[in-house]
Amino acid sequence: MDLATKLAIGLFLLGGTTWLADLLFAEDLKAMSRYARTWVFLSGLIFVIAGLVVLAFWPAPKGGVGPRIEVFEVKLMPPKGAVPAYINVSYKNAGDRPATAMSPYAISIVTPFASPAMLDQVYARFATKPLSDETTTQMQPGVADHYFSVDLPMLTAKQYAETKKGTGPPLYLLAYLAYRDGDDIIVTEFCSYEWGGALHLCETHNQIYRRS
């Protein structure tokens, strides 16, 4: 039971109790002035009307899961001539409401091991980034044609080959996608690394949560 329904029931009970008292203590009320008796009746009426207003105009609670941005594909592309290597990150709205103010942030690093403490620091910095001012464009549920790219100018052709073969250090992708559900901010954290021809997920920072 949502807050509006509880409040309305409470107001109805107050109004009903006032009118019930009017009936039970009618003889006593007769001794009161006409204005006092009128006030008893009106107070009950006010409570009932207030309950009806609450039910009619209180904002309806949000149902369902809301927008839910999920990363479903990560492609590491090799360097070609003057074009550096890059990662394409594809994502979709797997929720039941549109997402607005999409704000993806991501970095990629080559390191033998990304410690949990280091990952925590990176995602803490992501959390300070501003959200997009673009709130009119909506990412609708079920749409899976969205992506962003992360350039990797530091990844040479030799390092790319070593990462793919598993003879060199892994290539980490740390992504942070913030977006709005009305006034709420939702965050999708995605952390993975490419190594040995396969994509692996980090042990932490793969989650979706409401930031506010």
Percent of the chain with pLDDT over 90: 60
- Closest to 94 (Cα-Cα) out of 148, 139, 149, 138: 139
Q: Quick one: pLDDT at residue 27?
A: 54
Q: What is the pLDDT of residue 89?
A: 96
Mean pLDDT within 199-210: 96
Q: How far apart are the first and last CA of the chain?
A: 23
pTM: 0.70
What is the identity of the amino acid at 101?
A
pLDDT value at 127 more than 80: yes
Closest CA to 190 of 94, 99, 105, 114: 105
Dist CA 50 CA 16 (whole Å): 13
Query: How far is it, in rounded angstroms, from Cα 161 to Cα 91?
Result: 26
Contact between residue 142 and residue 96 where contact means Cβ atoms under 8 Å apart: no
d(CA 190, CA 182) in angstroms, rounded, equals: 23
How many CB atoms sit inside 10 A of residue 40's CB? Answer: 16
Among 11-15, 47-51, 187-191, the least confident range: 11-15
The answer to whether 174 and 119 have CB atoms below 8 angstroms apart is yes
In this predicted structure, what is the pLDDT of residue 1? 46
Mean pLDDT in residue range 24-41: 54
Q: How confident is the model at residue 173 (pLDDT cuts 50, 70, 90)?
A: very high
| Residue 141, pLDDT above cutoff 80 | yes
- Indicate the burial class of 163 (C-beta count within 10 angstroms; 0-12, 13-18, 19 or more): buried
